[in-house]
Amino acid sequence: MNTMRYLLVKEFKQILRNKALLPLLFVAPIVQLLVMPLAADYEVKNIKVGVVDLDRSDYSKKLVTKIEFSNYFKLVDYSNSFDASFRYLEKDAADLVLEIPKNFERNLVREKIEKVFIAVNAINGTKAIMGSNYLSLLLADFNKEISTKWKAYEMAEKSPVIEVASLNWFNTWLDYSFYMVPGILVTLVTMVGVYMCSLNIVKEKEIGTIEQINVTPIKKHHFILAKLLPFAVIGLVIFSVGLFGVAGLVYGIYSIGSLWLVYGFLLLFLAAILGIGLLISTYSQTQQQAMSVAFFFMMIFMLMSGLFTSVDSMPAWARFIANCNPVTHFIEVMRMVVLKGSGFSQIKYHFLIMLGFGLLFNGWAIANYKKTS
């Protein structure tokens, strides 16, 4: 125990002595957690739309007004020439162009049917799909309004009506930050664990102190634990500040489920990612090598974790890689426990997988680390 105590004191002093490392460990993750959820928002707003109104009737003007005062659209052009509005698409000044045909109101009243044309700037595929869907829903809502106005009161009484009531669970106001903040918090803890753990050990190699440690009677498992535990403590502190300070006070996100369950899984997760950092350090000889390898894995962890895109929408080979990613499972657990209040029975599968990751990576790193005497 004395050996471990002395080694831990040495590691904490070494970390706290580095004045450039402390802001990187504590300040940067908090700032990132404050800023990233605001930028990583897939809710598309301020869609620029141009309207070609060839009818200029009361109905067409009501439709244009409905679009203009929508929360999702911004009217950038209102003309009677499609070519003029199409130039806005070519200059990327518009995302959609809606053409209302001539005799729009007359055909609606007489024939009870009319078609409109939508041209979409599809360079940004996500914005194009969402924008056209939003506009289609708005047109459907306008169609419902005028149909209700036409329908006679007595006919409405005789006609069967199905009313749909929607209830949003777990995120009542559909706030996108509720979905993103838990996932971003996981990636920040991952970055600290993987980068800092791998660089710390490789730094010992670069300055030559690793050779001095190798010739001491210190056991290999003592040395490795002393390297892992300080960053596990730092990871716990950063996670706690992010969960209670930023997520709770800034975004109003409080865990519905058990915090004991969240922290229990966090400990397993830290064991797994610190094992990855330790494994990288055993194969790297310089800090530059360690940073390059860690950056490679961090890109995979972030892009293949379900943070930005759903794992279910990926092809089969990508889903397999995502399921081999520890970050994927912790993001899923965070969203299940914090937002839905899931219990252990719902996440025990993720617990077993994370336990396997921890044993695999740490066992591999320990076996690969050779201590000579």
pLDDT along the chain (373 residues), means of 10: 78 77 78 82 80 90 88 88 86 89 85 86 81 88 77 53 73 83 92 85 76 71 82 92 91 92 95 92 87 91 87 89 94 93 92 94 84 46
Say yes or no: 186 and 317 in one domain.
yes
> What is the total count of domains within the chain?
2
Of 274, 364, 273, 365, give the one whose Cα is nearest residue 326.
Answer: 273
Residue 131 lies in a domain: yes
Say yes or no: 194 and 260 in one domain.
yes
Of 240, 217, 237, give the one whose Cα is nearest residue 229.
Answer: 237
Cα 235 to Cα 77, 155, 208, 227, 364: the distances in Å are 51, 66, 27, 13, 22
Q: How far apart are CA 373 and CA 37, in angstroms?
A: 50
Please give the structure tokens belonging to residue 212: 């001095």
Burial class (CB in 10 A: 0-12, 13-18, 19+), 239: buried
Residue 153 has a pLDDT of: 44
Q: How far apart are CA 194 and CA 178, in angstroms?
A: 26
Of 124, 56, 116, 121, give the one whose Cα is nearest residue 85.
Answer: 121
Residue 114 has a pLDDT of: 84
**Which of 125, 158, 191 is the last residue before a domain boundary?**
158
Say yes or no: 81 and 54 in one domain.
yes
Residue 202 has a pLDDT of: 83
Residue 344 has a pLDDT of: 93
Contacts for 292 with CB less than 8 Å, ≥ 6 apart? none
Residue 182 lies in a domain: yes
**Which of 118, 134, 158 is the last residue before a domain boundary?**
158
Domain that holds residue 93: 47-158
Of 295, 322, 302, give the one whose Cα is nearest residue 40.
Answer: 302
Q: pTM for the full model?
A: 0.79
Say yes or no: 25 and 123 in one domain.
no
Say yes or no: 19 and 54 in one domain.
no
Say yes or no: 300 and 218 in one domain.
yes
Measured in Å, how far apart are the chain's first and last C-alpha atoms? Answer: 21
Say yes or no: 205 and 104 in one domain.
no
Residue 3 lies in a domain: no
Strand partners, 52: 79, 99
Residue 322 has a pLDDT of: 92
Residue 151 has a pLDDT of: 62
CATH number, residue 67: 3.40.1710.10
98 near 116, Cβ under 8 Å?
yes
Q: What one-letter code names the amino acid at 132?
A: S
